[in-house]
Amino acid sequence: MRPWLARARPGLEALNGFAQGIRTASGRQICFVPPRTADPYYEVKVFESGEIPTRADNWHDLFNALVWLAFPRTKARLNALHAAEIPREGGRRGPRRDMLTLFDEGGALVVTSQADLIGLIRERRWRALFWDQRERLRAQLRIVVFGHAVMEKALEPFPAITCKVVFAPPGRNLDDEAAQAISSAALTPRGLAPLPVFGYPGWHPDNGRPDFYDDRRVFRPAREVKSAPGVGQAAAALRAEESPGSEERDAG
């Protein structure tokens, strides 16, 4: 996303220039437009028209637009899956769309070929991962943040910011990998592994000492994880921050 942010904070005209050729799964050219009236079927409207309501001077919406530019296939797939589910839900979002929303708002890809590092994430062995394997982590594991709510929260970082992740091997097209992962009918909210990303070496100014990872309110072991949405403060933050129109689209 750096090439777009390098041109200062792009407005709608610039974003639409960057977006030429990006289409929804329905074949519509996407277009970032000022929000109009609240639409209870936000995702359906995007799917049918290609118009993505985007508030001016709003970081959350800007990051959403930039993710469309960086991961066009994944965003189009997320939108298509939402649009297909909404008519079947009777006005109440189900677990399938819960998973899609968690990844859209707070997702990330963990890029590594090291099965033992993946195991440490799945087992929530955070100090072993982030401190004991620190040098290996820098060399052999990369985190690519997808969720635009996480990007907004990272403007004022706090340790508990947590992503819901899928795993990808190195050398693959990450847009293709993410689109394929979220398309799996078997993937559920609990199937998205939580990862407190500010534990990654250098991502938070205080994580250069081992006791940073002793705060069990943030780096909770598996037996203390009671809910799927995330870890503590980060979970509440991500639930509160949704794309334009998301509250309306899930109303009722």
pLDDT, tens only, 10-27: 899 999 999 999 999 999
Q: At residue 54, what is the residue type?
A: T
Residue 229 pLDDT grade (very low, low, confident, very high; cuts 50, 70, 90) = very low
Kindly list the strands in the beta sheet with 193-195, ordered across the sheet, starting from the edge strand earlier in the chain: 141-145, 107-112, 163-168, 193-195
How far is the C-alpha of 226 from the C-alpha of 223, rounded, in Å? 8
Say whether pLDDT at 232 is over 70.
no
Considering only CA atoms, which of 137, 140, 89, 90 is closest in space to residue 113?
Answer: 140
Percent residues over pLDDT 70 in the chain: 85
The pLDDT of residue 224 is 55
The pLDDT of residue 217 is 92
Q: Is 156 exposed, middle or buried (0-12, 13-18, 19+ CB in 10 A)?
A: exposed
Say whether pLDDT at 56 is over 90.
no
* Mean pLDDT lowest among 3-17, 155-169, 184-198: 3-17
Residue 249 pLDDT grade (very low, low, confident, very high; cuts 50, 70, 90) = very low
Average pLDDT score over the chain: 87
Q: Please give the average per-residue pLDDT across 23-37, as a whole number.
A: 95
The pLDDT of residue 239 is 40
The pLDDT of residue 91 is 74
The pLDDT of residue 67 is 97
Say whether pLDDT at 52 is over 90.
yes
Say whether pLDDT at 230 is over 50.
no
pLDDT, tens only, 70-120: 999 999 999 999 999 998 887 778 899 999 999 999 999 999 999 999 999
Say whether pLDDT at 3 is over 70.
no
Q: Is 66 exposed, middle or buried (0-12, 13-18, 19+ CB in 10 A)?
A: buried
**Rg, Å, the chain Cα set:** 18
* Mean pLDDT lowest among 55-64, 90-99, 155-164: 90-99
Residue 208 pLDDT grade (very low, low, confident, very high; cuts 50, 70, 90) = very high
Say whether pLDDT at 7 is over 70.
no
Q: Please give the average per-residue pLDDT across 136-165, as a whole number.
A: 96
Residue 6 pLDDT grade (very low, low, confident, very high; cuts 50, 70, 90) = low
The pLDDT of residue 1 is 52
Domain borders along the chain are 2-92, 101-240
How far is the C-alpha of 127 from the C-alpha of 139, rounded, in Å? 17
Q: Is 148 exposed, middle or buried (0-12, 13-18, 19+ CB in 10 A)?
A: buried
